[in-house]
Each structure stands twice: as structure tokens, then as C-alpha cells.
């Protein structure tokens, strides 16, 4: 582009940017109908005081004093060559003494939309090349339960969320959309690898204008956008399975379920129906039963079941429902409800897991591969479900169950983290603090002084996305973006690739890691896969240099064919599902054979184990924020604009606020047995009574000298959430909900320190 403008991309949108030496000017992509305001976080972030500018090493780690790691530890600035020599020696020591199975390679993959400077790929490639492998994690915090249950029931998570019902189908065919957990635009604004067109708002508006009725089944009324014109059903937190069962029972009671579909396409329905009708336990799961649990009127449940049996009905289940104890159940029961309606595989109908939960869902899949950095082969068999990091560090050698396997936690001596902030996305931060004091060494690549960096021993400054060249791409976005460098790196920051290449040189494996290529050569090499596929289809396939000059390239999409569920419906023999039976598993003999009491062989109502009480009378919802991706750029302008007195905002229902003497703008203290935090109050009738809503992502900021459970003065809800698995099946994250109490805070207001870097010492 001219006048210093460069094309670029982020997880929340394609854009152009230019640097004036102090800040970044950003222009959203002209073709995006609903660009994300999160782009504004870039404008003042590159030279923020929170940025890491030099390699830093914890003083107590250098001196081997045994002092616990903590937020306020002292760090020593070191030259790059010296710290890399030190780190290479430490990696060699740990590997020689304990083996590759003592090294945990932590990364969460959201550091950049770029496919080469993808921190997760870079760290995994380095550890595989240098040591033959590492202890890895599987699944994600967002979809830990669904990624495990869905292959047993229907098929892979990717197939059911990304190649299934599209927004085009919804706008043209859906008559009723049952959105369990809603479809908030703040979630679909984000897609790993980049997103160039935000289409969800307009698709829902078009559908609503055509007559589609959306139902927002959530404790939060704004979990669907205004354009959807949704009917809000303020369900009690954690009771979605009960409502689904009540709907299913009503279908059976009025003979509205599709028996032919169930007989031809499903297995085990007869076993499930005995449970549904209460033939064995004496409790029919009817509308009256469901009403008592959910708080939704029984007549309304029956009416909704009748409507769902008419026209084209789509059942969607959000990530949020499975980020709780027994999170597998709503995912499974949503699929069973859709099967009973007999519309799975029809355009705009049936079942789509997580539609609207990410920008990837509801779109067409690209017909050519995108650039992907090869990670090499991991020779270490040990792994953990990603949300079990504290369990692993605190209980090495202890057994745990996962998806029918009996496993043991490895004994980790060194944690190497790049591209993630576990002090944001992990639960029960005070427990995590204890866990982070177990390993001998913790190494972090970071762009800024995140809480994770402050709890590490060796902290290496990494460039931000705008400080390097890359290629932005996603498998469901029809554009390849040349992510041109906009500004020089801050201080002494280096790319992850450059850091790992220097370490690989010291360890004698540089050629294996770099394959003799520098960053520019790697970009051209990775681009070639896409170019070759385009050329094979007779499509525009420019050279890398021409692509780089253009700034973008259009990618073809596959037909909107409904994926594996459409193929299965059209021919259940030729298009068998990848389940043990080849059909939809209403009852799973495999899961039943695991004999997990917290995940039976068919969808089951299992009450939440964390219930409100006189001590903790509110249910906290800790969902994704609207002003940033996870905790990224929390110091950015847009994220900061939403805070009050520098603190994250918590929403209360007017009834709950009045009962506690809380007014809008007051600072409140949220607390339970695990911890406490401060937040600024907002009063909203879009939050159901008895519910309190505090998004994740505010950087952890503990009050100095406040003991083992210090008050987070900034508003991080993960000082309150529970660090337990969804079930023995998936061991997923349960950070979406917990119980708390809230009171007006009247003490001296501590200053926010979250973005103040530690002062270097000698």
C-alpha cells in the first residue's frame, strides 16, 4: 500500500496499519461488513510500558536461594548471548538428568494470526528437534469436553463445528433456532488465523427479517445480538440439559418425535427413552420436572417443543455450556434433541455444535490448504488434557482417567511456555501459583510483562505481530493476507523463530530446526503449498513476491454441502459416521463401558455440584470478554475504555445490586473459599437474577503482602473459579461458572499494578 500503509491480519480481523514512530494508525478492511473494534487495541500497544524490552532472569533462580516464585520477584537484565548460553545449558542439564518427558511445552496457539510466527508451532518444533519430544497437552480450554464427547456420538469436533450448517443456510432455511448458550457477536468476532469478513450479524438479521425465530437460552439476555430479535429464555445456570430433556419428553408425549429418523440413523434410542420416560427411576423428565429445575414455565416448554417440531429447526450448543462440571452432557443431549426432531443433515436444520462460538463456524471451508509450519514428530507419549496443568505439577506420578484410559501425570522439571498466558485462562489462580513453584525452571517467551512472565525464571522478549512479516490465513477464511511488518521491534525483542534458532545452534541442531532457511525464505516455502494447489485448479497462483506486493490473495471455497451430516442423511450406508456404530449414538456402549459415574452411557441430567448457598448466594459467569481476545492487549486502548477506575466491570441484576446496596460504578469485592477480587459494578437487566457476570482476561494483579490468597485488585475471575475436570471422560475446563458472594468494597482502593514492569536489579 502507499503512504506507509501495510496489510496485516489478526485473529479478530484483517486490516491495514501504519506507524508514525509513536503509535499505530489502523484501518479495518474495506470489505468487512462488521469490523471488530478490538483492532483499536493495536493503536497504543507497541510501545506501552508493559512491553518486555530485554531478556530478564529471576534473581533468586540465578542465586539458587529457593525463594518462591511470585508476582513481585526481582529480575536481572542480561545480554542475549549470555542468557541464551544459560538457557541452553539448563535445557541440556534437565534433558540429560531427567529426559524429554520432564519438559512440558506449554503454548495455547493464540499469539498471532500468522502461520509462520505461530508460537505454538515454533516451540513444539524446537522441542521435537532438540530433544525428540516433550510432554504435550491435548484439546483446549474452550472445547475440552466437546472435543472428546463428539467423536463418540457424531464425529470430530472440527467437522461438526466448521463444516456443517452455514450462516447462508440459516439466513435462507432456518425457521427456529434454539441457541443454548446464545451466539454472542463478541465470540464470532474472533477466529484463529484471521478473519476478513464478519458475516454473523447480517446473517441473523436477514434470517429474522425472513421470519426465523431465535431463542436465546441463557442467563444473559444479550448472548444473541439485537439484530436477531431473539426471545430470551433466562434459564438457570447449568440447567440446559434439564430443559432439553423436558423438550424431548414433550415431543414423545405428543408423538412429535421422528421415529423413522431415530430408527434409521441412530442407535440406542430405546435405552435413552426408558430414562426419558422415567421407566426405571420413576421420574419422567417432563416439562413440569424441567420447569422446577430451569425456572422456565412448563407451558412454555411444551409450546417450544411443538414449535420445534414444525418447520426447519436448528439446535446449537455454545462452548460455554461444556465449560462446567458434566459439560459433556449438554453437547450430547443437544445432538439427541436434534435427532428426535429428525432434521440432522438438512440445510439450516438439525445440529451444529458451537455455531457463533468462533468466527470459524458457519462458513465454507477453503478448497486449498493454507500455509502451516511443520512441528516435527513428538517421541514422548505422555500428555495431559490442557486444563490439568496444576494437577500435573502438584501431583507427579498420580493416576488420572481420560477417555477410557488410565494415565499418570508426568514429573515435570522444566516448563517452557511461548504464546500463552495460563494466569489468564487457567482456573483457581492461587492453586496455580502453588503449582508454578514446583518445577525447577520456568521459561517464557513474551511480548509483555504478563502475570505468567512475572512467575517465570527466564523471560525472553518476543516481538508483537506488527513487528514482523508473516502470512495470515485460516481454513475457513477465503483470503490469504500478507502480514507486512509495520514497526521496528521494541527494545531488544526478537522473533520466536530467531530465539529458537539461536538455541538450536547452541544445542547443535540448528540445521534441523531452520532447514537452512531464514524467516523470509520460510514464508516463501510455506506459501508454495497454497500456490501449487491454486495452480492445480487453474486459479490465480502468483509467485510469492507478487503475492507479497499485492498484500492479499483470494482462496476458493468448497461447496456448501453440509459436510458429513448431510452425506450421512443422504446415504447412511455410504456416508457412515465415524462412530463405533456408524450412526448417531444416542446410547454409547463405549462410554458406558468406561463406567464413569460422572459421564453415563447416554445423556443424563447431573445437577451442578457447585450450588448457591447462604454463604455464596450468586452464580458467577466468567465468559469471554468483548474488548480483547482472552487477555491479549488488556493494556490496549479499547480494552481500557471499558474499565471503571481501571478495574474490570462486573454486571449484576438490579434486584441483586439493591439487596447489597451496590450502585453503578461502585467497586465491589467478589469472594468465595478460593479467593477474592475487586471489580467495578454495572447494573443490567440483561443479567438474570441470582447471576453475576465478570468476563475473563483482566491481568492478574495481587495485592502485595496479602497472604496465600491475595486479593486480585484488577478483576480476574479465575481467582474464584474451580480447577476440576468436566468429568473423568474429558477432564475439560470448568471455568465458566462458580458460586460467589459480592459486597460493596469500602476500604482504601489499591492502585492497579498489572501493567507496571518489575524494576531490573543487579
Q: What is the pLDDT of residues 603-637, one digit of tens each?
A: 999 999 889 999 999 999 999 999 999 999 999 99
Asked if 113 and 10 count as a contact pair (C-beta separation under 8 A), the reply is yes
3-state secondary structure of 592: helix
Catalytic sites, residue numbers:
108, 110
Give the pLDDT confidence score for residue 746 in this predicted structure: 95
CA within 13 Å, CB half, 628: 25
Report, as an integer, the average pLDDT of 586-599. Answer: 98
Render pLDDT for 302-320 as a digit per residue (tens, 0 to 9): 999 999 999 999 999 999 9
| Mean pLDDT to the nearest integer, 266-275 | 98
Q: Which residues pair with 650 in a beta bridge?
A: 681
What is the enclosing helix (H) or strand (E) of 167? helix 167-173
pLDDT beyond 50 at 372: yes
The mean per-residue pLDDT over the stretch 362-374 comes to 96
Quote the percentage of the chain above a pLDDT of 90.
96
Is 273's pLDDT higher than 70? yes
pLDDT of residue 609: 87
Helix H or strand E encompassing 480:
strand 479-483
State the SS3 of 280-327: CCCCCCCHHHHHHHHCCCHHHHHHHHHHHCCCCEEEEECHHHHCCCCC
Residue 327 near residue 337, CB atoms below 8 Å: no
Residues in the chain: 762
Residue 496 is inside which H or E element, if any? Answer: helix 496-506
- Kindly report, residue by residue over 171-198, the tens digit of the pLDDT: 999 999 999 999 999 999 999 998 999 9
Q: Is the dihedral angle over the CA atoms 392, 396, 401, 405 positive or is it negative? A: positive
Q: Convert 699-739 into a string of H (helix), E (strand) and C (coil).
A: CCCECCCCCCCCCECCCCHHHCCCCCCCCCCCCCCCCCEEE
Give me the chain's average pLDDT, please.
97
What stretch of H or E contains 353? strand 350-353
How large is the average pLDDT for residues 79-92?
Answer: 98
Pick the more confident residue, 610 or 660.
660
Whose cell is 509495520? That residue is 486
pLDDT digits (tens, 9 = 90+) for 281-302: 999 999 999 999 999 999 999 9
Strand, helix or coil for residue 247? helix
**Residue 474: which residues within 8 A CB-CB, separation 6 or more?**
113, 191, 192, 193, 194, 195, 360, 370
Percent of the chain exceeding pLDDT 70 equals 100
Average pLDDT over residues 449-465: 97
Asked if 205 contacts 168 with a C-beta cutoff of 8 angstroms, the reply is no
Model pLDDT for residues 491-534, shown as the tens digit of each residue: 999 999 999 999 999 999 999 999 999 999 999 999 999 999 99
Average of pLDDT values for 727-745?
98
Q: Which residues pair with 57 in a beta bridge?
A: 76, 458
Question: What are 111-126's pLDDT values in tens digits?
Answer: 889 999 999 999 999 9
Between strands 6-10 and 13-19, the pairing is antiparallel
Contact residues for 454 (Cβ-Cβ < 8 A; gap 6+)? 70, 71, 72, 73, 758
pLDDT in tens, 322-362: 999 999 999 999 999 999 999 999 999 999 999 999 999 99
Query: How confident is the model at residue 389, as a pLDDT?
Result: 98
Residue 568 is placed in which grid cell? Answer: 450421512
Instruction: Report pLDDT for 760.
Output: 84
Q: Enter the C-alpha cell of residue 596.
A: 464413569
Cα–Cα distance, 305 to 550 (Å, whole number): 53
The secondary structure of residue 220, as a DSSP letter, is: B
What is residue 691's three-state secondary structure?
Answer: strand
Domains of the chain: 146-192+199-358+565-594 (3.40.228.10), 618-744 (2.40.40.20)
Half-sphere exposure of 594 (CA within 13 A, CB side): 22
Residue 244: what are its φ and ψ, rounded to 5°?
-60, -40
Q: What is the pLDDT of residue 107?
A: 83
The pTM assigned to this predicted structure is: 0.97
CA dist 699 and 680 (Å) reads 15
d(CA 387, CA 253): 41
Q: If pLDDT is split at 50, 70 and 90, which confidence band does 1 have?
A: very low
Mean pLDDT of 569-586: 98
DSSP state of 481: E
Q: In the predicted model, is pLDDT for residue 762 greater than 80? A: no
All three cell numbers of 93 = 542439564
Cell, residue 220: 444473559
Amino acid at each position: 500500500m502507499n503512504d506507509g500503509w501495510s496489510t496485516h491480519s489478526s485473529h479478530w480481523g484483517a486490516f491495514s496499519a501504519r506507524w508514525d514512530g509513536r503509535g499505530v494508525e489502523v484501518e479495518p478492511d474495506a470489505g468487512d461488513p462488521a469490523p471488530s473494534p478490538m483492532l483499536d487495541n493495536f493503536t497504543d500497544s507497541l510501545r506501552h510500558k508493559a512491553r518486555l524490552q530485554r531478556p530478564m532472569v529471576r534473581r533468586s533462580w540465578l542465586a539458587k536461594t529457593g525463594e518462591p516464585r511470585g508476582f513481585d520477584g526481582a529480575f536481572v537484565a542480561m545480554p542475549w548471548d549470555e542468557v541464551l548460553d544459560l538457557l541452553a545449558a539448563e535445557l541440556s542439564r534437565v534433558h540429560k538428568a531427567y529426559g524429554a518427558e520432564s519438559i512440558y511445552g506449554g503454548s495455547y496457539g493464540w499469539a498471532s494470526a500468522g502461520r509462520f510466527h505461530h508460537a505454538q508451532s515454533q516451540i513444539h518444533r524446537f522441542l521435537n528437534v532438540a530433544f525428540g519430544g516433550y510432554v504435550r497437552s491435548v484439546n483446549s480450554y474452550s472445547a475440552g469436553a466437546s472435543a472428546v464427547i463428539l467423536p463418540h456420538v457424531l464425529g470430530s469436533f472440527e467437522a461438526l463445528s466448521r463444516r456443517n450448517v452455514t450462516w447462508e443456510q440459516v439466513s435462507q432455511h432456518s425457521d427456529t433456532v434454539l441457541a443454548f448458550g446464545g451466539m454472542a457477536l463478541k465470540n464470532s468476532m474472533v477466529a484463529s488465523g484471521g478473519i476478513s469478513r464478519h458475516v454473523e450479524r447480517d446473517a441473523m438479521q436477514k434470517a429474522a427479517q425472513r421470519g426465523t425465530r431465535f431463542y436465546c437460552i441463557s442467563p444473559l439476555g444479550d448472548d444473541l445480538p439485537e439484530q436477531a430479535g431473539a426471545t430470551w429464555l433466562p434459564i438457570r445456570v447449568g440447567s440446559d440439559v434439564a430443559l432439553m430433556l423436558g423438550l424431548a419428553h414433550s415431543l414423545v408425549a405428543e408423538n412429535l418425535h421422528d421415529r423413522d429418523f431415530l430408527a434409521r440413523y441412530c442407535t440406542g434410542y430405546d435405552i435413552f427413552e426408558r430414562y426419558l420416560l422415567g421407566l426405571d427411576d420413576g421420574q419422567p423428565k417432563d416439562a413440569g420436572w424441567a420447569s422446577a429445575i430451569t425456572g422456565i414455565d412448563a407451558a412454555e416448554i411444551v409450546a417450544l417443543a411443538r414449535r420445534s417440531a414444525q418447520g426447519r429447526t436448528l439446535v446449537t450448543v455454545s462452548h460455554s455450556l461444556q465449560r462446567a462440571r458434566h459439560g459433556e452432557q449438554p453437547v450430547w443431549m443437544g445432538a439427541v434433541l436434534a435427532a428426535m426432531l429428525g432434521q440432522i443433515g438438512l440445510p439450516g436444520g438439525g445440529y451444529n455444535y458451537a455455531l457463533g462460538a468462533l468466527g470459524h463456524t458457519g462458513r465454507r471451508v477453503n478448497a486449498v490448504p493454507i500455509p502451516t509450519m511443520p512441528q516435527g514428530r513428538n517421541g514422548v507419549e505422555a500428555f495431559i488434557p490442557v486444563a490439568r496443568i496444576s494437577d500435573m505439577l502438584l501431583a507427579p506420578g498420580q493416576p488420572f482417567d481420560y477417555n477410557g484410559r488410565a494415565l499418570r501425570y508426568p514429573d515435570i522439571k522444566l516448563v517452557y511456555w511461548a504464546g500463552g498466558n495460563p494466569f489468564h485462562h487457567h482456573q483457581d489462580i492461587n492453586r496455580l501459583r502453588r503449582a508454578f513453584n514446583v518445577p525447577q525452571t520456568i521459561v517464557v517467551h513474551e511480548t509483555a510483562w504478563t502475570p505468567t512472565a512475572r512467575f517465570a525464571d527466564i523471560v525472553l522478549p518476543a516481538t508483537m505481530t506488527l513487528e514482523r512479516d508473516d502470512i495470515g490465513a485460516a481454513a475457513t477464511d477465503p483470503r490469504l493476507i500478507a502480514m507486512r511488518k509495520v514497526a521496528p521491534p521494541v527494545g531488544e525483542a526478537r522473533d520466536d523463530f530467531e530465539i529458537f534458532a539461536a538455541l538450536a545452534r547452541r544445542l547443535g541442531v540448528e540445521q534441523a530446526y531452520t532447514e537452512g532457511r531464514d524467516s523470509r525464505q520460510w514464508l516463501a516455502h510455506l506459501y508454495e503449498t497454497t500456490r501449487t494447489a491454486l495452480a492445480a485448479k487453474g486459479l490465480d497462483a502468483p509467485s510469492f513476491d507478487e503475492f507479497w506486493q499485492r498484500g492479499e490473495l483470494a482462496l476458493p471455497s468448497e461447496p456448501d454441502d453440509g459436510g458429513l451430516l448431510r452425506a450421512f442423511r443422504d446415504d447412511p450406508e455410504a456416508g457412515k459416521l465415524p462412530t463405533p456404530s456408524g450412526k448417531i449414538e444416542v446410547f454409547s456402549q463405549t462410554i458406558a463401558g468406561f463406567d464413569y459415574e460422572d459421564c453415563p452411557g447416554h445423556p443424563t441430567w447431573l445437577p451442578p455440584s457447585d450450588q448457591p448457598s447462604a454463604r455464596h448466594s450468586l452464580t458467577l459467569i466468567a465468559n469471554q470478554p468483548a474488548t480483547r481476545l482472552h487477555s491479549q492487549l488488556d493494556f490496549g486502548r479499547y480494552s481500557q475504555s471499558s474499565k471503571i477506575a481501571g478495574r474490570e466491570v462486573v454486571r449484576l441484576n438490579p434486584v441483586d445490586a439493591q439487596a447489597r446496596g451496590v450502585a453503578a460504578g461502585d467497586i465491589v469485592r467478589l469472594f468465595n473459599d478460593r479467593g477474592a477480587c475487586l471489580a467495578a459494578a454495572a447494573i443490567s437487566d440483561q443479567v438474570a437474577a441470582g447471576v453475576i457476570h465478570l468476563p475473563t482476561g483482566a491481568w492478574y494483579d495481587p495485592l502485595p503482602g496479602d497472604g496465600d490468597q491475595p486479593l486480585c485488585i484488577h478483576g480476574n475471575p479465575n481467582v474464584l473459579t474451580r480447577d476440576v475436570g468436566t468429568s473423568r471422560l474429558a477432564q475439560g475446563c470448568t471455568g465458566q461458572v462458580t458460586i460467589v458472594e459480592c459486597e460493596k468494597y469500602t476500604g482504601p482502593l489499591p492502585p492497579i499494578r498489572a501493567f507496571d514492569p518489575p524494576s531490573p536489579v543487579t
